[in-house]
Amino acid sequence: MESTKIDFLYLNEQDMIKAGVLDASMCIQVMGETMALLSKGDYIMGGPNHNAHGIMLEFPKKSYIPNFPLNNSRDRRFIAMPAYLGGRFHIAGQKWYGSNGRNAQHGLPRSILMVSLNDVETGIPIAYMSANLLSAMRTGAMPGLAAKLLARKDSKVLSIVGPGAINKACTMAIMSCFPNIETVKIKGSSPESKTAKKMKKFVESRYFNVKNIKICSTLEEAIRGADIVSEAASVKEGQWPKYEREWFKPGAVIISASTFNMEHKSIMDIKKVVDDYSMYEDYSNEDPVVFDKNLNRKPTGCMGEDFVNMVKDGLIERKSIINLGDIVTGKAPGRTSDDEVILVAIEGLPIEDVAWGYECYQNALKKGLGIKLNLWDRSAII
């Protein structure tokens, strides 16, 4: 009789570190594979169009039910991010996380994340793993991949806008591709920002080729002269940092992983690259249309969604926006001149979590890491 016993592997954060979750170079390589599979259509994500970032559980601001959880804290939510990824991965999985702005009061990160992997044919659980580092590294690896493909090879100046945990991972990824960076500019919420000072110490302690590290007072100061801009600022809705076209150095690549704010007409002729255009179409279709007093559509704070809205408004053509995976596979060109300015929207896709989770799981198996947990020897239902 065929065995119906099911065991799965549990990996805590230390197991994940030993399995190589912090390997920025390898993560970039895996994200390149992932984007190529996206370009080929060998994937599925959630939502009716199979391109959803995730399904969010949001709490109301008021409720008549006693003790009902309310949206009375910054970023209080739960999100499920399911996906299937093909190719050598051929795996289904999900990132699930809860977030609450009050977590810092308890010595906890704002978001606490886990990733699960399942066999595609049977649904059998294969692994359940700590995912805060996994998520941060795959998020950082995407700007690293974008910079590797699109930044000038002689780039010397990196600008970090929003020096939190995500941009720390972005910096690790970008620096793994550009070890000859000489200047790092840092823009936090203020020149005295604790996170900006922590980022400065991080760069000083890790990247000895960097000769000049500067905490900038203004966004303009941070952007002017930068070859690569990595943006991952965490700000309240409507308080997005506003960029001006004249600040961009010829040949600069600006990679936004969080918030972005520019007048649409000022970026019509700039090259535009996204991780997944279809995901931003979903965003645009879900969000209300907001116009300014001159009846121009207001920026949404999301670079990729703004690109979609520019297409809807007839400012640019759909074919002018390139999916990063099409550059990986050679379907579309990358940088075409040294002076070309390129905007890149990176929002995060569940297939990235599944891919990096699978890679770390395979490494864990090879190294004998984690704890094997038993689901059942034989299901009581059968």
Interval 353-369: pLDDT, tens:
999 999 999 999 999 99
Question: In 221-332, where do the E strands start and end?
Answer: 228-231, 253-256, 271-274, 321-323
| pLDDT of amino acid 336 | 96
| pLDDT of amino acid 49 | 87
| Residues 256, 163 within the same domain | yes
Say if 336 falls within a structural domain. yes
| Residues 121, 160 within the same domain | no
Q: Is 161 helix (H, G, I), strand (E, B) or coil?
A: strand
Say if 271 falls within a structural domain. yes
CATH classification at residue 277: 3.40.50.720
| Residues 169, 317 within the same domain | yes
| Residues 232, 94 within the same domain | no
Taking alpha carbons only, the member of 110, 109, 120, 112 closest to residue 82 is 120
Say if 1 falls within a structural domain. no
Percent of the chain with pLDDT strictly greater than 70: 99
Interval 136-182: pLDDT, tens:
999 999 999 999 999 999 999 999 999 998 999 999 999 999 999 99
- Reading the block at residue 51, the tokens are 């391109």
At residue 18 the predicted structure's pLDDT band, cuts being 50, 70 and 90, is very high
Say if 381 falls within a structural domain. no
Percent of the chain with pLDDT strictly greater than 90: 78
Residue 221 parent element (H or E): helix 219-223
Checking DSSP bridges between strand 125-130 and strand 6-11, what pairing results, if any?
Answer: parallel
| Residues 49, 145 within the same domain | no
Q: Is the pLDDT of residue 23 over 70?
A: yes
Task: Note the pTM of the prediction, 2 decimals.
Answer: 0.93
| Residues 212, 116 within the same domain | no
- Reading the block at residue 7, the tokens are 């065991």
Interval 251-307: pLDDT, tens:
999 999 988 899 999 999 999 999 999 999 998 888 888 877 777 788 888 999 999
Say if 40 falls within a structural domain. yes
| Residues 191, 276 within the same domain | yes
What's the domain count of the chain? 2
| Residues 204, 288 within the same domain | yes
Q: Mean of the per-residue pLDDT values for the chain?
A: 93
| Residues 71, 167 within the same domain | no
What is the end-to-end Cα distance of the chain in Å, rounded?
A: 14
| Residues 84, 151 within the same domain | no
| Residues 152, 216 within the same domain | yes
Q: Is the pLDDT of residue 1 over 70?
A: no
Say if 108 falls within a structural domain. yes
In angstroms, the CA 42 to CA 40 distance is 6
Say if 65 falls within a structural domain. yes
Asked if 76 contacts 100 with a C-beta cutoff of 8 angstroms, the reply is yes
Residue length of the chain = 382
Say if 335 falls within a structural domain. yes
Interval 52-97: pLDDT, tens:
899 999 888 888 999 988 887 777 889 999 999 999 999 999 999 9
CATH classification at residue 123: 3.30.1780.10
Q: Which domain holds residue 248?
A: 141-349
Q: Is the pLDDT of residue 15 over 70?
A: yes
**Which residues are CB-neighbours of 201 under 8 A, at least 6 positions away?**
none
Interval 95-136: pLDDT, tens:
999 988 888 889 998 899 999 999 999 999 999 999 999 999
